[in-house]
Amino acid sequence: LVTPYLKVGSLASINLARQGHEVHLYEFREDIRTAELVQGRSINLALSRRGQTALAAIGLEDEIVANSILMKGRMTHDLQGNTKEILYDPLNGQGLWSVGRKYLNEKLLNLAEKYPNIHMHFEKKLISTKLDDGTMTFKDLKNNSDIKEEADLIVGCDGAYSQVRAQMIKRPGFSFSQQYIRHGYLELCIPAKDGEFQMPPNYLHIWPRHSFMMIALPNKDKSFTVTLSMPFETLIKFKQKTIY
């Protein structure tokens, strides 16, 4: 498997290994469990029933849920500061779970490491793939050498700029289109105050503002991870005016 998004690759690896397959997991970045500074997205994940089912299949649901915060609905904030509660499931009380991305990735990696038929390779960048014969070439970022690999099945979990997809679209009859939205995002934080949340914690907070919006998800340390999404031209002006 090729992946810069470990939660996808790790989960797929575990499921394949449980079926008896020999799995090699290649990751572009360093091992997040030992990295001093983790690059990439740290925005919380909203874990749904579908995600819980996937985690239950590998025995991690209870542990992950115990370290997450239930969001029973959305809470919208208008321009006047008024709030409105919108429950996801008023009858049964089900909702989404706010879980830290790094925490979830680490738990999946720890479990994958316990399988003798899962082999993890970090800091390996996919350079080329020949899908017809299952061969791949990786660049070892530590020593700048090339690594040749062969597989019976190649699973590309490598995101928007997928190198695996880049090879697939060269095949005859393969249709593909990609269009980028005009929005970017900025990650912010609402810290705890006096050891407590500054807003009701059991909600996905949303500030809808037509062409842009902001959301906030609760963390176990009583803070909120905040994501501001807006058109790039507005976002650039916002960042230029913001003092960090």
State what percent of residues in the chain have pLDDT above 90. 68
Looking at the predicted structure, is the pLDDT value of residue 41 above 70? no
Q: How many CB atoms lie within 10 A of CB 100?
A: 21
Q: Give the per-residue pLDDT at 162.
A: 85
pLDDT in tens, 174-195: 888 888 889 998 899 999 999 9
Angle at 192 (CA atoms; ends 6, 101), nearest 5 degrees: 5
Domain boundaries, the chain: 2-69+100-169, 72-94+179-242
User: What is the CATH architecture of 2-69+100-169?
Assistant: 3-Layer(bba) Sandwich (3.50)
Token pair, residue 117, equals 């038929």
Strand blocks (E) in 122-211: 124-130, 135-140, 145-150, 183-190, 204-209
158 with 126: CB under 8 angstroms?
yes
Look up residue 110 and give its two tokens.
């720890």
Nearest to 220, CA basis, from 47, 97, 93, 85: 97
Confidence class of residue 35 from pLDDT cuts 50, 70 and 90?
confident
Lowest mean pLDDT among 57-61, 110-114, 209-213, 218-222: 209-213
3-state percent helix, strand, coil for the chain, nearest multiple of 5: 25, 35, 45
In angstroms, the CA 72 to CA 200 distance is 11
For the stretch 88-106, pLDDT in tens is 999 998 999 999 999 999 9
Tokens found for residue 41:
């997205």
Output the pLDDT for position 131: 87
CB atoms within 10 A of CB 144: 7
Token code pair at residue 222: 């009583």
- pLDDT for residue 238 is more than 80: no
In the β-sheet with 69-71, what is the strand arrangement from edge to edge? 45-47, 96-99, 69-71
Span 205-232, mean pLDDT? 95
pLDDT value at 55 more than 70: yes
Q: Tell me, what's the pLDDT at 158?
A: 83
